[in-house]
Amino acid sequence: MCGISVIINRSNNSIDRAHIEAMTDIIAHRGPDDSGYYFGRNFAFGHRRLAIIDLSPLGHQPMHYLDRYTIVANGEIYNYLELRDELRRYGYHFRSQSDTEVTLAAYDQWGEECVSRFNGMWAFAIYDKEKETIFCSRDRFGIKPFYYSEIGETMLFASEIKQFTAIDGWRARLNKRRAYEFLIYGIRNHSDETLFDIVRQLPAGHNLAYNLRTHNYSIRKWYDLKNKGNRKKTDFKTARREFADLFTDAVRLRLRSDVKVGSCLSGGLDSSSIVCVVNHLLREQNAHGKQETVSSCFDISRYDEQKYINAVAAKTKVVSHRVFPRFDELFSKLDKITWHQDEPFVSTSIFAQWEVFRAAGENRVTVMLDGQGADELLGGYHIFYGKYLAGLLSRGKIFRLKREMERLRELQDYSIRQIVRSMLGNLPPNFLRKTARKTNSNEISHAVRRDGISGSSELWQAPTRTMREESLAEIEFTHLPILLHYEDRNSMAHSIESRVPFLDYRLVEFALSLPDEYKIKNAAAKHILRESLREKVPESVINRHDKMGFVTPEEVWLKQNGTSFRKELEDTIRSSNGLINSNILGILDAVTQGKRPFDFTIWRFIAFGRWLKVFDVTIDN
């Protein structure tokens, strides 16, 4: 895991070394082990290295190959050993044991199509000396970040937005439309735009090709998930076995490392599954040493999952590290977290995740496996229930529909009204999206000035009515992109590489091919995951059906410390140049007085205000 910097001068002037060094030094946390630079005629590469595979100097970047190619890369290609063996049969030779050298050989052999052969996470730039081009690529699901910006005569590529602040002429200006969508709907990272008006991100599964002669560039989508994972007619027993094999292999590949590997353990099904499969694989390999896990815990039982963490720890005999995030540290650490996150975040759960990775770093666990992606793939969110029921109704599966409705009442405590509403809402086109738009933009929207801001989003243009459509939306737009952003920044802030086995593309495509009833059965979400790992994961976790998510006692903190939250909101209003008004204070007061249900809206405004100050963001009238 690393960080990259690229500066291109479109007037064909050479690059000042001080500029590329400043841009690269800002992300020293992404790569504390090494740094390096390469200067071309009108461009420069910068790199910070976090040594994970091949810790020797042979893994240094920028890396050169065949006296033709130079690369700066961030991420890991997990199947590099298999690719290296294949490339050797084509006559390629390798000096290092690194996946980076394999990436260069693969590019020489297969050109831009090489990325379709990679199983991993990446964002890289390859200079081709003969063609005078820079080829850039981002992995299928955007696990690793890649930003670009044009400032004056320079074109810039970076791993983090904050790198652009080192460039002469940089000025942070607000992208009002994206700010509105974040504040009102809580969405971000759903397009190539960011909250900074001149910063864009290369979308997941896209390549960027830059011509150093003409200074033209093109962006092309190389991975289209919609065309993957077509329905298969497979009986459940066969599907369960294949799912288990794919998931186990995904975890196995992500254990490849020359440094210590551990896992995040929340106590939920997803992270527990990873920990238990890792434990199984280590036993098979007769590996020495115990697996280490890090968990976020709380003294308030409603938000604490130690009962399940203890069950997993007892079964696997892991070394369990635990952190207890405290409110009295939240605001004192907020500026630092905001700086590392680059953009504001939707809840204080990001603070808890920050503490988890901090503890991992303190215990020298350099690689951490985490469970991102399982909910999106396997119907883990409550929104999937309505789509599942609607699917049963539309196919005339009345007996199963009746049984699922009964189980929803028993297992998830749904009322009949909730069940019917969630089901019927997925039948008429646009119903759910229109309802969500009306609800979300009601009282909260009055706290934001809308002059010159479009309140519509791409998300409202494509309603989802099936579980597959919802999974695609979750993976590509609504949930996963922002969760991966949080994961990358919080882990890299502490020089930790985070790996996400559920996003092995083979597993993703297979999960999308499965019938709905393999994912939800008897109102239990992620059915195939539960049945695939029933023998490995503690029974109390397998049979757990409450959906806590990765949470903090944010509601308790807010109600017990209303004065602190109010002060933060007042600071946000003052910093917003009239964009935000005092109506948000009325929402806070209503929540603290018990007149309005708690939601995460208040935190979004607080985080936005801190972000404005940390990055000195200008809001144009």
User: 221: part of which helix (H) or strand (E)?
Assistant: strand 217-221
DSSP of 484-507, one letter per residue?
HHHHHHHHHHTT-EEE-GGG-HHH
Catalytic residue numbers?
A: 2
Secondary structure element (H or E) that encloses residue 49, with its range: strand 43-49
* 105 alpha-carbon distance from chain centroid: 29
- Please tell me the distance from the alpha carbon of residue 499 to that of residue 479, in angstroms, as a whole number: 18
CA of residue 515 relative to chain centroid, distance: 26
- End-to-end Cα separation, the chain, in angstroms: 40
How many CA atoms does the CB half-sphere of 288 hold within 13 Å? 0
> How far is it, in rounded angstroms, from Cα 35 to Cα 62?
9
Contact 260, 292 (CB under 8 A): yes
Report the amino acid identity of residue 212. L
DSSP state of 125: E
Task: Give residue 570's Cα distance to chain centre.
Answer: 31
CA 276 – CA 353 distance, rounded (Å): 21
474, 379 contact by CB (below 8 A):
no
- Contact assessment for residue 603 and residue 554, using Cβ atoms and an 8 Å cutoff: yes
Residue of 366, 272, 344 lying closest to 315 (CA atoms): 272
d(CA 313, CA 308): 9
For the chain, what is the total number of helices (H) and then of strands (E)? 23, 17
Cα 142 to chain centroid distance, Å, stands at: 7
How far, in Å, CA of 588 to CA of 605, rounded?
11
Select from 86, 107, 87, 84 the least CA-distant residue to 96. Answer: 84
Nearest residue to 202 via CA among 143, 120, 151: 143
271/259 Cα distance (integer angstroms):
21
Name the residue with tokens 């903090």.
Answer: 552
DSSP type of residue 142: -
Burial classification of residue 415, based on how many CB atoms lie within 10 Å of its CB (0-12 exposed, 13-18 middle, 19 or more buried): exposed
